[in-house]
Structure 1
């Protein structure tokens, strides 16, 4: 019986630009280490505030990748 098995791992990424950039930073870094990434789920979003201004955007991602045979 043929099938596919995937694994999910959680990572956190930060950006000083936006949530979208934080996602891109996280996935680019994960893909340097992990093969066969098929998707990601944004589990949580956070901002860091200093003097009333947003200074950093952070995302917690659950990254899915297919295991090699």
Structure 2
């Protein structure tokens, strides 16, 4: 097994549906330009309230991906 070196980036995804959807949106968008994403870590969840209801979610997360040899 080879040893891996990872790089991490911070992203913020948003969604009108849920916090989970905001995470999926951020990862799917990032995976279009970043190869070998291996993990994520949620660092903050917040949202916007409009008329007493959650209007949208924002989730800040770090993603980790392996560096190429």
TM over 0.5: yes
Q: 1:4: Cα distance to partner?
A: 1.5
Partner of 2:64: 64
Map Cα deviations across residues 37-65 of structure 1 (whole Å, 9 max, x no partner): 00100110001101111000110010000
Q: Which has the higher helix share?
A: 1
Which runs of structure 1 show a deviation greater than 4 angstroms over 4 or more consecutive aligned residues?
A: none
Given the two structures, how large is their TM-score scaled by the length of structure 2? 0.93
Give matches, 1:32-47, under 5 Å.
Answer: 32-47=32-47
Question: Which 5+ residue runs of structure 2 have no aligned equivalent?
Answer: none
Partner of 2:10: 10
SS in 2 for 1:29: helix
> What's the Cα RMSD here?
0.9
Given the two structures, how large is their TM-score scaled by the length of structure 1? 0.93
Partner of 2:24: 24
Question: Which 5+ residue runs of structure 1 have no aligned equivalent?
Answer: none
